[in-house]
């Protein structure tokens, strides 16, 4: 390795001391984390009981996917009451107890806010249906007359993200817009009542003591005036430009929310789920008077390839730094194939398709575990914030053996099985190798089937076991803290085209993404993503070395 420093990124993360600039935030998917009631679906009491283990991992905060009242047509992202807990997850008291426990353990708590759409069971949508065309109640959603002689054609050509048309016709002949499932009507954010309602919802949870919000489909709330057709050629080419995503006036919403959060003590945070590109456009969501973090999905979607990862890392640090925000790295969540599997799939599946039992894309289990761990070791050494998704610390793979009748993601049904959907990353996680449902509950019930091989991945089978994935995560998180990596500055070192190496303060990180062996720098070895048995790094290995 030469010492040539070819690029040094701006010290973007040193602009403030807010906790979220350097935080590792652990995503809890309540349905699949821990189930105290034993009905096969996780709940808030289950989460509270397992929080000490989350704290022991060494993360700073948790983000909970939705637990609000909901018919569960999209696993809770179809909210019928934003100010209440769904009975399958417990009660508001359970929420308060869980929150107190998290705070006692030193964990901050971020909740999910779903402002682009509600459930069709929300009181406002029911009122709109009953009130009929032309009513004030309909202006809270996007109702339009159809095209064609009798209005029998949808108002425009927009397609649902989950497949099929984005419009559904109601018995009186009007159509309503739903960018997702037909049970998730989009709000009309041009109606000020919608904005006021969400400010009340923010306050409701801020008053209860939450530390922030992950904002669902943050790029979608504002639609282009007149709802123009999507340019078919651009859509075909996979463009993220559209009349419903990333419209400039969406930012006004977050400027208002910013001022609401400012009224509260303790650096509350807004994190954007904004699937926009390029990165510069994503960074607009985290300008100083808007949100604070945005998931770096460009990074998540970059394959395990040194030549492609390095410019994405550079650009991320640069564009987020330019607006005074930290980059927010992420590899897995409840919408994407678990990275332990995804990064090793051959051939890579079509974008957003998921994988299932008959997919031609396969991942070798040994290569994929090694690569998944390496990708995490690389990510956790980068400056900025990071998100982890429950179960990745156990090295869980994507589950493909879920048959059609068990699949619950609306994507699968709406595309007649053409897209597998996201159930494979949502399977309840294993805690105890020898317990019913691997300790997810006492009853053995599980809303999605848990694979038999998961006994050896259970948390208790990895705890204290040298070289286990769990212990690698713990060590990486502890070292990240000890060496201040999240607030550091990245300085690239030249190691050839198929590896990446950089210095972050006292730590030198080398990642081998190719097949040729790469030298390990001299110094104290702090972390290895797989057991290191030579002075050189094999394919899919990452090492952290103390070089001062």
- The Cα–Cα gap between 253 and 267 comes to 19
Decide whether 168 or 462 has the Cβ nearer to ligand NOJ: 168
104 is catalytic: no
Site for ligand NOJ in 151-180 (CB under 6 A): 180
Smallest gap from Cβ 291 to ligand NOJ, in A, equals 16
- Of 295 and 454, CB closest to ligand NOJ: 295
User: Which of 43, 335, 398, 460 lies at the binding interface for ligand NOJ (CB under 6 A)?
Assistant: 335
Query: Alpha helices, DSSP H only, in 416-494?
Result: 459-462, 469-482
Report the nearest approach of ligand NOJ to the CB of residue 117 (Å): 7
Distance between CA atoms of 193 and 119, rounded to whole angstroms? Answer: 17
Does the annotation count 216 as an active-site position?
yes
* Residue from 314, 375, 328, 340 nearest 511 by CA: 375
Residue whose structure tokens are 């929310």:
257
By beta-carbon proximity to ligand NOJ, the closer residue of 31 and 370 is 31
> Considering 216, 315, 409, 541, which one is annotated as catalytic?
216
List the one residue from 109, 114, 286, 319 that touches ligand NOJ (CB under 6 A): 114
Sign of torsion, CA 207 190 85 64? Answer: negative
Site string for ligand NOJ, 216-255 (x = CB under 6 A): xx--------------------------------------
- Cα torsion at 148, 150, 154, 156 (round to 10°)? 40
User: Closest Cα partner for 377 from 542, 514, 505?
Assistant: 542
Q: What angle in degrees, to the nearest 10, is found between the helix axes of 365-379 and 469-482?
A: 10
> Which x/- pattern, by CB under 6 A, does the window 295-334 give for ligand NOJ?
---------------------------------------x
CA–CA distance, 10 with 489 (Å, rounded to integer): 7
Sites for ligand NOJ among residues 451-470 (CB under 6 A): none
CB of 163 to ligand NOJ, least distance (A): 12
**Which residue has tokens 């989460």?**
47
CB nearer ligand NOJ, residue 77 or residue 141: 77
C-beta pairs of 475-484 under 8 Å, 24+ apart in sequence: 475/527, 476/376, 476/377, 476/380, 476/381, 476/527, 476/544, 477/24, 477/57, 477/58, 477/59, 477/380, 478/58, 479/507, 479/526, 479/527, 479/544, 480/24, 480/380, 480/381, 481/58, 483/507, 483/526
150, 172, 207, 263: which one is catalytic?
263
Site residues for ligand NOJ, window 51-80 (CB under 6 A)? 74, 77
420 touches ligand NOJ by CB under 6 A? no
Closer to ligand NOJ by CB, 216 or 315: give it: 216
Q: How far is the CB of 531 from ligand NOJ (least distance, A)?
A: 35
User: How is residue 236 written in tokens?
Assistant: 């075909």
DSSP letters spanning 325-341: ---EEES--TTS--HHH
The total number of residues written for the chain in this structure: 548
Q: Site size for ligand NOJ, by CB under 6 A?
A: 9
- Which residues form the interface with ligand NOJ (CB under 6 A)? 74, 77, 114, 180, 216-217, 273, 334-335
Catalytic site positions? 216, 263
């Amino acid at each position: 390795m030469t010492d040539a420093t070819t690029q040094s990124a701006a010290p973007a993360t040193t602009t403030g001391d807010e906790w979220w600039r350097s935080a590792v935030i652990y995503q809890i998917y309540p349905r699949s984390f821990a189930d105290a009631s034993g009905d096969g679906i996780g709940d808030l009491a289950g989460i509270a009981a397992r929080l000490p283990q989350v704290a022991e991992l060494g993360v700073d905060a948790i983000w909970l996917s939705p637990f609000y009242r909901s018919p569960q047509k999209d696993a809770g992202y179809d909210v019928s009451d934003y100010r209440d807990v769904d009975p399958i997850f417990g009660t508001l008291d359970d929420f308060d107890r869980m929150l107190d426990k998290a705070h006692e353990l030193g964990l901050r708590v971020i909740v999910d806010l779903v402002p682009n759409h509600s459930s069709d069971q929300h009181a406002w949508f029911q009122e709109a249906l009953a009130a009929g065309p032309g009513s004030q109640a309909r202006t809270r959603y996007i109702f339009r007359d159809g095209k064609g002689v009798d209005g029998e054609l949808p108002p425009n050509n927009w397609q649902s993200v989950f497949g099929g048309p984005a419009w559904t016709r109601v018995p009186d002949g009007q159509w309503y817009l739903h960018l997702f499932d037909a049970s998730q009507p989009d709000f009309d954010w041009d109606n000020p009542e919608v904005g006021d309602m969400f400010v009340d919802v923010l306050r409701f949870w801020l008053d209860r003591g939450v530390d922030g919000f992950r904002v669902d489909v943050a790029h979608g709330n504002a639609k282009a005036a007149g709802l123009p057709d999507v340019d078919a050629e651009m859509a075909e080419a996979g463009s993220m430009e559209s009349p419903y995503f990333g419209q400039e006036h969406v930012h006004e919403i977050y400027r208002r929310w910013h001022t609401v959060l400012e009224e509260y003590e303790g650096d509350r945070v807004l994190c954007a789920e904004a699937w926009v590109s390029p990165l510069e456009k994503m960074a607009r969501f985290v300008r100083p008077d808007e949100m604070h973090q945005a998931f770096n999905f460009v990074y998540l979607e970059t394959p395990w390839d040194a030549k492609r990862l390095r410019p994405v890392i550079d650009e991320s640090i640069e564009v987020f730094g330019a607006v005074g925000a930290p980059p927010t790295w992420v590899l897995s969540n409840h919408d994407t194939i678990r990275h332990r599997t995804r990064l090793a799939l051959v051939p890579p599946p079509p974008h957003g398709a998921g994988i299932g039992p008959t997919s031609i894309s396969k991942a070798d289990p040994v290569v994929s575990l090694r690569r998944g761990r390496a990708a995490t070791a690389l990510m956790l050494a980068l400056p900025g914030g990071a998100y982890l998704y429950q179960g990745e610390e156990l090295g869980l793979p994507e589950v493909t053996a879920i048959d059609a009748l068990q699949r619950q993601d609306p994507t699968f049904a709406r595309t007649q099985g053409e897209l597998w959907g996201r159930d494979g990353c949502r399977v309840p996680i294993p805690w105890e190798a020898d317990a019913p449902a691997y300790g997810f509950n006492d009853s053995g019930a599980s809303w999605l089937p848990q694979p038999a091989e998961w006994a050896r991945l259970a948390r208790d089978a990895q705890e204290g076991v040298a070289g286990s994935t769990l212990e690698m995560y713990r060590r990486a998180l502890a070292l990240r803290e000890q060496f201040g990596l999240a607030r550091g500055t990245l300085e690239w070192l030249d190691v050839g085209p198929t590896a990446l190496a950089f210095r972050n303060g006292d730590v030198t990180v080398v990642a081998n993404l190719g097949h040729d062996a790469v030298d390990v720098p001299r110094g104290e070895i702090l972390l290895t993503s797989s057991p290191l048995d030579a002075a050189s790094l094999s394919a899919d290995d990452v090492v952290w070395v103390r070089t001062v």
